[in-house]
Structure 1
Amino acid sequence: MASSTAAIAVPSSTTLPEAKSARPQVAASPQCVGLPTLTPAPTAAHSRPQNREGWKSMASCRRIARSVMAMATGDAVAEVGADISSVGANISGVGTDISDITKSIVEAWDKIEDKYAVTSLAVAGVVALVGASGVISAVEQLPLVPGALEVVGIGYTGWFAYRNLIYKPDRQALIQKIKDTWKNII
């Protein structure tokens, strides 16, 4: 494999000893020194085994890893032929919670009459969320804007607390307004 070289400029005030300048000079001027580049790292560690012994060692490593995980969690070591459902049954309570959640989601989806509109709203919500995230990250990069917005937020919070939370009649009016809004929504 031939090694390629890259040229780096060296100031004229420095000189290289003759014993160390055995590398080939690639540069056009005497002020440049050619340095060899690094070869790429081998990728055999992430590739699939090519022979039967490689597959056997990979299987034994997986078996050892499963045994270590079982010992760490206190579960019994699963047999080689055990299927995923029997291994998943060792986790207590998680399967029933997931199935209950799935059933409630399916029941709620079946009750919806206009599934196209709900799906469209969900997609529009995701797009709006991504767009808002982009706008916020862009505004965050501007100088002085995040600090100014923080001061505005602190000021509004103080004004809201002074206006609605300090005195009892104002608190009761705010609570009543929240309850009325909640009733209108639901």
Structure 2
Amino acid sequence: MQTSEYSDIAPDAEKTKVEVKVDAPGGLAALPPASESSEKWRQIGEQISGFFAELPEYLGEFFSEYQRPLTTLGLILASVITVKVTLAVLDAINDIPLLAPTFELVGIGYSAWFVYRYLLRASNRQELSEEFKTLKGQVIGQDTMS
């Protein structure tokens, strides 16, 4: 039997002796046989395969149960994306020289035409009111010509 001495490195600590037995095997845990390990992996593989086989059914039940909230969430997400894309396109158009002032002039011209056509005279304002009521009736689905 072989033994060796080890001492602490700290100068003021007590010196201790540690015996190390080289000829006796240590208490290491024995590995399971290969057949048990492969059996466990096979069981895990079967569970995963079963889960993926039933996944379409789980997803179908989930979507049928939460169809309305998912549709609402999808519409909100689509509207946010649409607004961001529209703002990005408008910003890109605004960066083109002479295009932004041209659009401003077109807007000012259309506003001036609208005021001249519908808002200056009382008869034209009445005509605009009737057109608005007709359009409102078509959108709502009622005839509100009163």
TM-score grouping bracket, smaller chain normalisation: 0.3 to 0.5
TM-score by length of 2: 0.45
Q: Which one scores higher on RCO, CA 8 angstroms, separation ≥ 6?
A: 1
The structure whose Rg is larger is 2
Higher strand share: 1
Higher helix share: 2
